[in-house]
Each structure stands twice: as structure tokens, then as C-alpha cells.
Amino acid sequence: MSKRYRERSLLEFQNEFSTEEACARHLQEIRWPDGFICPRCGHVEAWFIRTRNILDCKSCRAKTSLTAGTIFHKTRTPLLKWYWLIYHMAMDKVGVSISEMQRVLEIRDYKTAWLMAHKVRKAMADRDAGYSLAGLVEMDDSFFGPKGRTRGRGSERKSTVLCAVSLYRNRHGEEKPGFAHMKVVDNASASVIQGFLERLGYGLDTKECKDLLKAIRTDGWRSYGKAIKGANLSHYKVVLRDPKSAGKLLPWVHRVISNAKAVIRGSHRGVSEKHLQSYLSEICYRFNRRFWERELFDRLIKACVADETITYSQLVKNENSIMN
Ligand SMILES: [Zn+2]
């Protein structure tokens, strides 16, 4: 698959993907950038069976599915509707509403549209799973869930979320956010934070030089200190005399958290704890690519093509498969 991404404006997208055939042709191009080769005999010519999205080798007659190994596998929804959904999910900064997508794209029913969106979110999460955070990382934990419930007793319905944002200095010496990562966790204990740091790319056990993470900045909550004990990481603690000043002292991580809360409350009208991680992954995916606006569709469609699909029953029964 080509590593270079194509830029498209809305008009260009609209012109390029106006028919089912155009989408199928495009899908074929991303799967076989150097042209189709029959996996059985190596022949390069094939008929395209439009009704089934199948390539039929002109030499050995082996049938190759255009959608196998992608999130579109076995879909009964036209590729055109998938492409438009992916376009919206890539571009809409506040996240799309599923019922709205179902209506405007004329998708069969809500459940179908919901499943499609989750498949796209899984591709986003899997793409970001390979990202490491480097340099100085701002970290904090927050609670997501119904309003009016607080920490401690009665917090059963609130979910703890760990959030990290890597920072860099631009050429004017100003601190800027790089990449963000958020994870739903059971609690903010030292061992859980350790696991989170490992996910960010820091090998606390191995202490290998490959580690890009150099320092963390937190509110000084004791679990952070414990989590990095003995590790080759600097720890900057900002002192919170007033909890309301957290936004000033840990500005980036707070911005990401409050943006995520606004998106979840707004576009998605709140989400169940079970699916919170996949929405957070979507928000981070988009945040991490905010500088590549015109490439967003190309990046996401390629992530979707490279990603194995997930079924409805896997999604509702085995949450771990999309949470990791
Ligand atoms: Zn063949």
C-alpha cells in the first residue's frame, strides 16, 4: 500500500466517488497499487463481477474478493455509502451522529449504520495502536459519565479515563501538543498507570534505549510517582492549590479531555461505558491527524482497507477485541 496520501477537497471527493463502480475501482487500486495479480496463478487480467465485488481471473478463473481482509468484507451496504460515511467520520471535527448518517446516506437501519461506524472506529483504533508518544508527556486521569455523580461512592457509573498528550516546542520555543492517547481503565492505580505508559511506548521493564518517552508532567497524584519508580523518566509535578487551575497547569491534557467530553455529550448524546473506548479512540485518531485535513479521507480509507472486519456479535459480546 502506498505510503503517500492524497489530498482531496470536498468537491474532489464528490466528483471522484459519485458511483458504486468508482468506489470499487478505487478499492481495487488501494489493494493492488501495482495492478491486480491473481493470487492463485499470478495472471494480471481479471473480469470484475460487479454484483458481488469479485475479481474473476481470466486465466485460471479463481475468484478473488475485493473486500476480503478489509472492514467492508461481506457487507450488504453499497461501497458508495461506506465511502461517504468514512468521509464524514474523517472530516467532521465533532464526530458524526449515527442516526443522522443513517438518514442522509439512506442506510437500511440504525443497527447497520451503528455497526458500520464501529468498524470504522476499530480501524482508527488499530491504526493508532502503533503510535508511541515521545519526549515530554502531560498525563492526567478524568471521569467520564453521567453528570452530577462524583468520585468515590456512587461513582459506579463513571468511567476512569487516563489521558496523555505529548508536547514539543515549535520554532518560536512555544510548547505545542503532538499526539494524544486516551484509555478507559478500572482505576488510576500505579500498576494501571504503568500499563498505560507501556502502551505509550515506554518499556518500564526493559528500559531499552528505543524508548522515546523522556518525562511526564502530572498533578503529582501519588500513583504517577509510584508507577515510574526506578524508571529512567523525569517527573514534573505541577502543584494544584486550586483544582480549578488544572486547566492552566496541565493545559493540553485538559483541552483534550474537555473536547472529548463535549463531543461525547454533543454528537453522541452520551455513550455506554462499554463503547466509551472506541469513541475515545476515534477522538484521538482525529486529533492526532489534525494537521493533515485534506489527507484525512485518504488516510482513513487506507486504514479501513488494511483492517480486518469485526462482526456485530464480536462487537457486542467480546468488547476486548476493540478495546485494546
Ligand atoms: Zn488466476
Q: Is the pLDDT of residue 104 over 50?
A: yes
**Edge-to-edge strand order for the sheet containing 46-49?**
46-49, 54-57, 63-65
Averaged pLDDT, 57-74: 93
Residues 93 and 61 sit within 8 Å (Cβ to Cβ) = no
Q: Report how far residue 276's alpha carbon sits from residue 172's, in angstroms, rounded to the nearest whole number.
A: 37
pLDDT-derived band of residue 268, with 50, 70 and 90 as boundaries? low
45 CA from centroid of ligand 1 (Å): 8
Q: Is the pLDDT of residue 155 over 90?
A: no
63 CA from centroid of ligand 1 (Å): 8
3 CA from centroid of ligand 1 (Å): 28
37 CA from centroid of ligand 1 (Å): 8
Which residue has cell 493492488? 32
Among 84-98, 144-158, 189-203, 215-229, which stretch is predicted with the lowest mean pLDDT?
A: 144-158
56 CA from centroid of ligand 1 (Å): 8
Kindly report the average pLDDT of the chain as a whole number: 86
54 CA from centroid of ligand 1 (Å): 13
Q: Report how far residue 96's alpha carbon sits from residue 290's, in angstroms, rounded to the nearest whole number.
A: 16
Averaged pLDDT, 70-81: 93
62 CA from centroid of ligand 1 (Å): 5
Name every residue whose Cβ is closer than 8 Å to that of residue 279 and which is 6 or more positions away in sequence.
95, 121, 263, 264, 268, 271
Cβ atoms within 10 Å of 104's Cβ, excluding its own: 14
20 CA from centroid of ligand 1 (Å): 25
Residue 73 grid coordinates: 468484507
Residue 177 grid coordinates: 501538543
Residue 221 grid coordinates: 497524584
Residues with CB under 5 Å of ion ligand 1 are 38, 40-41, 43, 57, 59-60, 62
Residues 293 and 92 sit within 8 Å (Cβ to Cβ) = no
How do residues 45-62 score in pLDDT, each as one tens digit? Answer: 999 998 889 999 999 999
How do residues 4-42 score in pLDDT, each as one tens digit? Answer: 899 999 999 999 999 999 999 999 999 998 999 999 999
Averaged pLDDT, 225-233: 87
32 CA from centroid of ligand 1 (Å): 15
302 CA from centroid of ligand 1 (Å): 25
Residues in the chain: 324
Coil/strand/helix, residue 184: strand
Cβ atoms within 10 Å of 194's Cβ, excluding its own: 20
39 CA from centroid of ligand 1 (Å): 7
pLDDT-derived band of residue 94, with 50, 70 and 90 as boundaries? confident
Which residue has cell 485534506? 294
Residue 86 grid coordinates: 468514512
CB-hemisphere CA count at 13 Å for 110?
Answer: 4
61 CA from centroid of ligand 1 (Å): 6
Q: Would you give the distance in Å from CA 236 to the centre of its chain?
A: 28
The model's pTM:
0.85
33 CA from centroid of ligand 1 (Å): 18
